[in-house]
Homo-oligomer: A and B are copies of this chain.
Amino acid sequence: MSDLPRRVHLHEEGPREGFQIEAGPIASADKVRLIEALAESGLEEVQCVSFVNPERVPGMADAELVARSIRKRDGVRYSGLWLNLRGMQRAMRTQLDIEGTIGTSASEAFSVRNNGKGLAALREAQRETLAFCVDHGIAVTRGIVTTAFGCNLEGVIAPATVVERVAQMLDTMAEFGLRLPILRLADTVGWAQPNAIAAVVGAVRERWPELRLGLHLHDTRGTAMANALMGLQMGIDTFDSACAGLGGCPFAGHTGAAGNICTEDLAFMCEEMGIETGVDLDALIGCAQLAEEIVGHPLPGKLMRAGTLGRFRH
């Protein structure tokens, strides 16, 4: 366990992940309320909305309205998600904090389903986005490989495939003289288990020992916290997560519980293990309870029901 990080960075995606998949309409004001509560809990970053096609993701049709309505707090990054340059340009017209993103998929079929284009076309689009970022002085700080641990459409994904995709991504960046500061490996559809985390993280690390890695985990089959532990044991210090375990990709090609790893459960585990998170667990529990109130049905988070251990310890 000597590789455990001393501090973990949690990138909250609940508002974006959660509200993209909810069946019922969620009031824009409620989205804003949750984002503002999350930003009060000590989280460094809250991903607020996605700028995607509202016909494909109706829950994000109010992205601009939500982004405009947030009362921003100093010291917190308010980010957005987009899948192409048009989405990024929409985001730039709001008050959100803009960082260049480069995303690819380990699975060609998932790329077609999620991004509307295959990997070759996606790479062309990335060049357009990177050129735009360079022209506008926007740092490209975020890279992600989706379905890195398996795909419902293509099945098993070999670690070597992930390495190949990362190589392409880094090559594309290099064409513009850019280096990626952090790469996220996403278990988009909940295939990962700890050995797969070790295999994929290990394969990418072996090729690029200096590349900082993060994990984007879903708890589709109950393995997210074990996967996070394996990541922590390998020194991973950056995790995407969603309060109350909100979330799920509308284009994943499966039904059922598909939420992200739960922010407050993960933060609790880290804090109990002596790994700093910077968050106030009780404030996060309040956010999770608010999220449940907003969506109107039970969410999978556990700590929000049981509470922290502080009151038992004195």
Please report A residues at the B interface, Cβ cutoff 8 Å: 1, 150-153, 155-156, 190-191, 193-196, 198, 219-226, 228-230, 254-258, 262, 265-266, 268-269, 272-274, 298, 300-303, 305-307, 309, 312-314
Contact = CB atoms under 8 A, between A and B. Distances in A.
A155 B306 contact: no
Contact of A225 (B152, B156, B223): B223
Contact of A226 (B153, B198, B229, B313): B229
Nearest to A191: B309
A312 B150 contact: yes
A261 to B, nearest CB: 9
A307 B256 contact: yes
Nearest to A273: B195
B257 A305 contact: yes
Nearest to A261: B222
Contacts of A223: 225, 265, 268-269, 272
A195 B156 contact: no
A38 to B, nearest CB: 18
Contacts of A255: 305-306
Contacts of A268: 221-223
B195 A272 contact: yes
A67 to B, nearest CB: 30
Contact of A269 (B222, B273, B301, B312): B222
Contacts of A220: 302, 306
Contacts of A198: 1
Given A225-B222, A314-B155, A306 B257 contact: yes
Contacts of A191: 309
A233 to B, nearest CB: 8
A190 B306 contact: yes
Contacts of A262: 222
B152 A302 contact: no
A13 B241 CA distance: 31
Given A152-B312, A302-B257, A312-B155, A274 B221 contact: no
A224 B219 CA distance: 13
A211 to B, nearest CB: 23
11 contacts: A1-B194, A152-B312, A156-B313, A194-B229, A195-B273, A223-B265, A229-B230, A255-B305, A257-B302, A300-B300, A300-B302
A288 to B, nearest CB: 11
B273 A193 contact: yes
A281 B138 CA distance: 49
